[in-house]
Amino acid sequence: MAGLLAAFFCASAQSQTYKSFPGESADQRTIEIQKRVDELFAAGEFKRALFIYEKELAPRGDKYAQYMVGYMHLKGQSVPQDKVTALAWYRLAAERGNEVLEQARDELAESMTQAEINASNRIFLGLLQKIGDTRLIMALIQRDMNTLKGRTGTHIQGSNVGGRVVIVRPSGRIEDPNFYRNLRLRLEARLNYLETKVEISDIELESDDNEIRMFEKQVKSELAELEIP
């Protein structure tokens, strides 16, 4: 299973290939970190690899990294062997419905007692509330909203930019005229994800759902007032 996952993620540029998930594409720095940590793991430097997978990549929504944290707990690589914690991370890694990750999750769960699964549920809920996809998307939405609410600039037309109308920011940076429109479209896709996402957890707290719905309502109200075309 580990070899199958490694091949899958290598072929699909690791964790950023979920077309239905409106997250953020990996930048060059993240890609370099992903490559480096895989080299560390292959070299048996498990302590350093685990730190990067868990602290650097997993909080960014890197599903391969989240799987690897679980895998290292399962195998006892730099940490005590622990199926309970491993399953929690496997569940987090599988929340976007990837079949390979779901298979790893299900196979591990089948080997565990109900008491172990119950204990894993509690760890999983904590992970979900801190670095699950819903929290990740909410943070990205808030960042997009802050950008939209802080927009200022002068629209000009000049031959130095090919005759196109551009926006000159106070910083002097020139942006494409569709910058804010594209940002709004991306933001709306993220809001839609929150609205239509089917939770994979049967232990979601009602208070969490209420918080998410209130957040959606507030963002939609603020977005309507901004009048971005």
- 60 Cα distance to chain centroid: 5
* Shared domain check, 182 and 110: no
- Identify the domain containing residue 59 by its residue range: 2-16+26-130
Nearest to 53, CA basis, from 104, 92, 111, 105: 92
Q: Are residues 174 and 69 in the same domain?
A: no
In a domain, 202, yes or no: yes
pTM of the model: 0.79
96 located within any domain: yes
101 located within any domain: yes
Torsion sign (Cα): 61, 62, 68, 69: negative
DSSP 4-62: HHHHHHHHTTTT---TT-------HHHHHHHHHHHHHHHTT-HHHHHHIIIIIIGGGT-
Q: Is 176 helix (H, G, I), strand (E, B) or coil?
A: coil
Interval 116-132: pLDDT, tens = 999 999 999 899 889 99
Residue 38 CB burial class (10 angstroms; 0-12, 13-18, ≥19): buried
pLDDT tens sequence across 177-215: 688 888 888 998 999 888 876 444 445 555 567 778 788
- In this structure, are 154 and 205 located in the same domain? yes
Q: How far apart are CA 38 and CA 115, in angstroms?
A: 33
User: What is the mean predicted confidence (pLDDT) over 40-54?
Assistant: 97
Show the DSSP H helices in 43-178 as ranges.
46-51, 63-75, 83-93, 99-110, 114-131, 133-149
Residue 30 scores a pLDDT above 80: yes
Domain assignment present for residue 214? The answer is yes
